[in-house]
Amino acid sequence: MSEIKKKDERIRLKDIAVLANVSAGTVDRVIHNRGGVAPESKKRIEEILSELNFKPNKMAQLLATKKGYKLVVLLPEAVRGDYWWDIIKGIKRAEEEVADYHVKTEILRFNQYSMESFASLAQRLLELNPAGVLMAPFFRREVLRLTKELEERSIPFVFVDSNVESVNSLAYYGQQSHQSGYVAAKIMLTKLEQFSTILLVHMLRTGSSAISSNQTTKREEGFLAYLEKYSLESFYRIIRVDLHAEDESGNEEKLDGVFNQNPDIRGIIMFNSRIYRIADFLEKRGIRNIRAIGYDLLERNVHYLKNGMVECLIAQRPQLQGYYGLTALARHLAFKQPSKPICYMPIDILFKENINDYKVYPFDVE
């Protein structure tokens, strides 16, 4: 047997068949667990496979089948420099690596502030009848409707950015949202003077009764959980303001009213990636004694981090979310490779002092 290994490291079925005194077809049935093999022969073949450390060439098998897989990605619209643009960059890199699996990807992009936009593209996704889906689960009601249909069709799906625990996704890649809000509170309250006011900013969506995404809701819950754990509710006053995604002048007027009525605001947190809007307002009004914390490394957010209007950004490696999410889906379809259901990204904390040296990705994607 050792002679075979020395002669040719690529062990063939017929080599194993000769050693086991069976046909190559019998060996193939044992390898792929198809049954119909006598117990004595099966045991002998398995012993030989174990001794030779034989592993079938799954890639060769896949290439031989020429089977193709159409994947659909459902994400918010994005432009270069946005959070969602980085997720798409990771997806594009994954597409290159799974090209040999005969995977084709189509990306559908919805307006993240419009439930109607999401619902329309969710219907389009179902009409495409994909082999698998990668999605950002915005608008819980619509997500539950979509995933119910996907499960009925036995179409696997992967979540990125935020998770919906009540459905059976193949995997989730993103932050542990509650914990990231908890960390944000810990940062915020360090050196924040007691009995001051903290402003929590929400960005309203249209077509939905919920003012926030599942992710931002959990972040806020984590933030408040920190105050409760350390009995800090009586030392800080929490107020909230709701802004509208497409009403800049109205937002500024509302913020002017909030600051006029609450001159003791010393902390601001926004649980989505739009803290630059608050920083822009503060800069226009010449307000600089505020500890502002936000999420994600949008170019505009980083600009305000560097000039001091934003004190801290919490990042969550969007490129890796897209890359790992699509790769997991492709490997599940091609090789039936299982995935870890929950795959948390690190909670990366960035200040102006360390942002320039921040390295996120093991690959460079443009």
pLDDT, tens digit (0-9, with 9 covering 90-100), for 1-60: 544 544 444 567 777 888 888 887 788 778 867 677 888 888 988 888 888 777 666 555
Task: Clarify whether residues 192 and 299 are in a common domain.
Answer: yes
159 pLDDT tier (thresholds 50, 70, 90): very high
Evaluate whether residue 357 is within a structural domain. Answer: no
pLDDT at position 340 over 50: yes
208 pLDDT tier (thresholds 50, 70, 90): very low
Helix ranges restricted to H, 286-317: 299-306
Residue with more model confidence, 229 or 15: 229
pLDDT at 209: 43
Domain hosting 47: range is 2-56
Could you report how far apart the first and last alpha carbons of the chain are, in Å?
50
Sequence-ordered list of residues with C-beta below 8 angstroms from that of 79, at least 6 positions apart, any chain: 85
Evaluate whether residue 74 is within a structural domain. Answer: yes
Positive or negative, the CA dihedral 333, 320, 146, 81 is: negative
Task: Clarify whether residues 43 and 125 are in a common domain.
Answer: no
CA distances from 222 to 161, 227, 300, 364 (A): 16, 9, 25, 33
Q: Which percentage of the chain shows pLDDT scores above 90?
A: 64
Q: How many CA atoms lie within 13 A of 268 on its CB side?
A: 29
> Mean pLDDT across the stretch 114-140?
96
Place of tokens 């594009």: 92
pLDDT at position 119 over 90: yes
pLDDT at position 160 over 60: yes
CATH number for the domain that contains residue 283: 3.40.50.2300
pLDDT at 66: 61
pLDDT at position 169 over 60: yes
Interstrand relation of 237-244 and 197-204 (parallel, antiparallel or unpaired): parallel
Q: Which percentage of the chain shows pLDDT scores above 70?
A: 89
Lowest mean pLDDT among 207-221, 268-282, 299-313: 207-221
Sequence-ordered list of residues with C-beta below 8 angstroms from that of 20, at least 6 positions apart, any chain: 26, 27, 41, 44, 45, 48
Evaluate whether residue 288 is within a structural domain. Answer: yes
Task: Clarify whether residues 50 and 132 are in a common domain.
Answer: no
Evaluate whether residue 359 is within a structural domain. Answer: no
Task: Clarify whether residues 90 and 146 are in a common domain.
Answer: yes
Domain total in the chain:
3
Sequence-ordered list of residues with C-beta below 8 angstroms from that of 294, at least 6 positions apart, any chain: 269, 270, 273, 274, 275, 276, 278, 279, 301, 310, 312, 313, 314
Sequence-ordered list of residues with C-beta below 8 angstroms from that of 214, at least 6 positions apart, any chain: 137, 140, 162, 163, 164, 177
pLDDT at 200: 97
Task: Clarify whether residues 147 and 195 are in a common domain.
Answer: no
Mean pLDDT, the chain, whole residue set: 88
Interstrand relation of 312-315 and 348-350 (parallel, antiparallel or unpaired): antiparallel
Q: In what order do the strands lie in the sheet with 103-110?
A: 103-110, 69-76, 132-135, 157-160, 171-174, 342-344
